[in-house]
Structure 1
Amino acid sequence: MTTSPLERAAESFAAELARHRTGRGLSKKQLATMMGFDPSYVSHVEGCRHRPTEDFARRAEAVLDADGAIWQRFREYDQLRQARAAPAPREPAPTGRWLPPGTGLLVERETATLTLTDHGYRCVIRRQLHNAGAEPVTRYLVRVAVDRWPDDPGRSNRHHREHPLTFAELGLRVFRDDGRSREPMHWRVRHDRDAYKEIWLLFENADGPFPLHPGERAEIEYAYRVGREKWGPWFQRAVRLPTRHLAVRLDLPAALDPRVWGVETSLSADEGPLRTPVRRHDRGDRAVFDWAIDDPPLNTRYRLQWRFRGEPAEAERSTPTGRATDRLHALGLLPRDADQPRRPARPLDLPTDEPRAREVAERLTAVLARVDELHPFSAGLGLAAPQLGVDAAVAVIRPADRAAEPVVLLNPRVVDASPDTDEQYEGCLSFADHRGLVPRPLRIDVEHARFDGSRIITSYSYGMARLVAHEIDHLEGRLWTDRMAPGVPLVPVEEYPTV
């Protein structure tokens, strides 16, 4: 069967979209979330079951930063679709970073300043926004997170449960400045957790709404305070919208003799040092550290960290005695030589087994919370029901991003995997005193069930792909050591403390 030029143009658009999505290491679900679409719609467009719309193409271009390639494929498709209309004149070649008209909300400049005084930390964020989309913007999502001891998740979790971050202490203040007036903004809570807040900044106040209309620019500013007893020695910025310029400043007391460094990470790269240095400028009794970057890639995270050499180090916390494996076994985890983890788990009959599925998932989640208190796993961790002696195909994964919700897998199976693999050190809660090099695919597609019995397919990439594959192995009666190359030794955790 021959295809029409219009069908071929749609296929070309779908192929360009898929190429840039996979090149960024994004699943269809991740891309859909970033674009504000339902995951099934992205899947249908890539599969040529739905035709692309102008809004879809604009958002995909902006999110995937495709230098105009996705937008060009859409233009070719759209011109064929409107064959009766006169062809649009060719636009002049763009200069600088290319963005199609109506891309959406852009951050033209962000400046983030964190200042330490006797009263604690004060954070001020200013963002210059440009609405390049076709619809008015009425709200803007921001996040506030604290982690007192980022290298010790268990200690930090206990501390924030006992001393939760509150909106009363934050004293959040929000303003909008459009160059003519400075207006206070209302805000609304989206998520309120012990160490993490999500807040909608609303383009309105007691005098009424003032949405950011297409083509308009405005600066928003929000500021809050956090005491030293809750704020850890780090300050992170995450790029969630196309951003032209990002600048970060730390303003610290020089008397504390601060040492500052930085790291960055993204969906397609492990953590590494900042590519440009942090600059120090002493101003009287203050040590000011500045760092900036132009056109940071979407979903990249930049973290400045520091330590104060001018004050005594914090006393080491007391830890339970014994090996990590022994402490984890006390929580009910079976040893690696037990029979149960070597048998495939029984699939759940959903939705009939929904009450049991929820009970098992809640138990796994509770044990993971206790694990965090005993043994930190900064790269994320997971737990499968057979590790607790429960014969059910249920696993729970806590992503490396501690603000993300745990992933619950019911009756999962890998249906596709990338031919590209990498070899990384893995550990296991069943024997946490050792690590080993394990090859894994960089991407896996997993078919799994919801509690109501319906089934979906989710793609996982990089670190999450490794975590998910590890737990599915447990449900299939396989241990991670089975995947190690012959002759590769296990490494005692004492000899590899950074894993």
Structure 2
Amino acid sequence: MSAGDSPAQRASDAFAAELGRWRIERGMSKKHLAIAMGFDPSYVSHVEARRHRPTEDFARRAEAVLHADGAIWQRFCEYDQVRAGARPRARAMRQDPRVHEQWLPPGVGLIVERETAELAYLGGEYLCRVRRALYNAGREPVTRYLIRIAVDRFPQQPDVSNRHYRDHPLNWDELRLRASADGEEMEWRPKTDRDAIKEVWLLFENADGRFPLYPGQRAQIEYAYRVGVDKWGQWFQRAVRLPTRQLDVRLSFPIALRPVVWGVETSLSAEAVPLRTPIEQEVVGERVYFSWSTDAPLLHARYRLEWRYRVPVRSEAEGPAIAGPPRRGPRASDRMRVVGIVQRGAEILRTPARPFDLPRQEPVARGVVARLFAVLDRVGVLHSFSKGMGLAAPQLNLGWAAAVVRPSDPEAQPIILLNPRVIEDSLDFDEQYEGCLSFFDVRGMVERPLWVEVESALPNGKPMINRYERGLARLVLHEIDHLDGRLYVDRMPAGAPLVPVEKYQETGQPWRY
């Protein structure tokens, strides 16, 4: 038997084929995969071409980066057992393999699978919202996560900036910091408290209990804070302190300010250079969005977007000094269509959504939820939702049983609905006007129960039952209707009129009970 026909060679070939299949499935080039894994750009090519045999470290990294549901790791185990002359292991795996420590910073077991960082200028202050999809690739539970908030109003004049923050230090109250993990509110604890820099531990716990991120588990954390224009400089920087698979950055400004945006990147070994890919620009109604992303952010690199306004901001409270009549924007439904929301008439809005197979499809579910949050953020900039807001996956042309609801109370945590179903509802009803992002030009009077109990699933598949009342019940039921292929007009009496949004008298007001 030749070496090329040996069991070890066949097992190595099977590993290379599995690696290539998952790489193509995830839409990654060999070079990008190698960089994401921390290898030389040519290394993956050598493994797939059978010029290099797989190693345990390589297999662990590939499994973690490609989210291969244990398939790549299993192929390596089979190869390793054949090479050692032992019986191959069973294919079933209980959890994702851990990544070798040498790939991670000392003492850290976290990988950021995706970071989405958004900054919006809104009426004299900047709102920063960051979402990170985390994977615990270490050996110990993670109970806290460190974030850093740094401001510099005059980055080119350090002496002026230092004096400014001595006289006007950044304080905790003005930040209004909020954080959550998979919808669970996170408590936080200050670590560093300086005039222009705050470091904060986000804790995987709250008054109701603790929820550590255990090895092999994933979670999405989200945090948001606000800083006045008098303290925030015209730049937004993302520092890559943990291994990160993808980084998305998005800026939002009033179009009346006529902003100009550019970007640079730096690393420990290189001077600042322009971003290697262009910043995309999109105008939606009265706002302009600038987006940039990379699927291979380098560890310890810093990616910085900077801007200037061609129309000056008069004051933090008054906003831009603009003369003349206001611009007339597009119809409400057109604005929703631009941000990616499917409009009435699309077949998917009449098709029941398919449930997730949890926990097997947990990464898919988390990805869908992340997209829902991203679009809700964009919608929230376009319109004020005093009654709360929600979005279902079919409205993004995704046929999955997932929806997100943001209550009217800005302090309340968002509601994530995976595979939801109504198990009981009230015998008492009321009628209120509802709107839908999929036909936002009108409002309709809809009868709903005053309370409802809903069973849904956590991303790990664990079921939970929650009771929602009044306005929150209405929001939740509206989204569950979407997942059943129904619209609120289906619940209106035959011939009942829809009210054009221009004549609707309750915009900006909560529902009355």
Give the TM-score of the pair, scaled to structure 1.
0.44
